[in-house]
């Protein structure tokens, strides 16, 4: 299971991801869809540890 709890990422004054809460169960298929600048890539980078969270927790 992957669990995002109140995850926020800021770049200066820009909030790229704000208070994300998401639970993905083992075996679930999940995709990210959204317009440019919605935070999809930032979310994946936080998940794999390429960038640090501003606040919240991923487990």
Give 22-32 pLDDT, tens digit per residue: 999 999 999 98
Distance, in Å, from the CA atom of 6 to the CA atom of 57, rounded to the nearest integer, reads 7
The whole-number pLDDT of residue 49 equals 97
Provide the 3-class DSSP secondary structure of residue 40: helix
Distance, in Å, from the CA atom of 3 to the CA atom of 25, rounded to the nearest integer, reads 9
Give 34-55 pLDDT, tens digit per residue: 999 999 999 999 999 999 999 9
Task: Give the closest residue to 39 by CA, choosing from 28, 59, 24, 54.
Answer: 54
Read off the pLDDT of each residue in 3-27 and give the average, rounded to a whole number. Answer: 97
The whole-number pLDDT of residue 12 equals 96
Q: Cβ atoms within 10 A of the Cβ of 11, count?
A: 10
């Amino acid at each position: 299971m992957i669990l995002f709890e109140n995850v926020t990422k800021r770049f200066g004054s820009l909030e790229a991801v704000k208070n994300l809460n998401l639970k993905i169960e083992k075996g679930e298929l999940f995709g990210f869809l959204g317009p440019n600048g919605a935070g999809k890539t930032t979310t994946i980078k936080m998940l794999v540890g390429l960038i640090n969270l501003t606040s919240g927790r991923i487990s």
